[in-house]
Amino acid sequence: MTTNGQSLHKILRLKALKLKTGISGSSVYNKTNPRSKYYDPTFPKPVRLGASSVGWLESEVDAWLEAQIQSRSATVSTMVAESPAQTVSPFLR
């Protein structure tokens, strides 16, 4: 997004990030910590805003969410293509 040739970036603080993604605060920090077993190198990196505050670029969060949706769609499509036509979900029995 630009206005008058200047780039505008919306920063999400942790509360807004949690609302947008549905991920808890501790999970967000685990996804960004390379030492965590839950580290996700594709998760958006935080932007330092001050000595003790960070935020995330909304555009990067949106792109990450879209990638998660695309990944899920590809997985679901593969599962449907590979499953027998007459298979009934165990939840529908």
Residue appearing with tokens 């939840």: 91
Whether pTM > 0.75 for this model: the answer is: no
Closest CA to 45 of 68, 20, 69, 11: 11
| Predicted local distance difference test score (pLDDT) of residue 69 | 92
The pLDDT tens digits for 25-42 are 999 999 999 999 999 999
Tokens (6 digits) for 59: 């555009």
52 φ/ψ angles, rounded to the nearest 5 degrees: -135, 30
| Predicted local distance difference test score (pLDDT) of residue 73 | 79
* CA 72 – CA 82 distance, rounded (Å): 15
**Would you tell me how many other CB atoms lie within 10 Å of the CB of residue 44?**
22
* CA 41 – CA 22 distance, rounded (Å): 18
The pLDDT tens digits for 28-86 are 999 999 999 999 999 999 999 999 999 999 999 999 999 999 988 777 666 666 666 55
> Bigger pLDDT: 1 or 89?
89
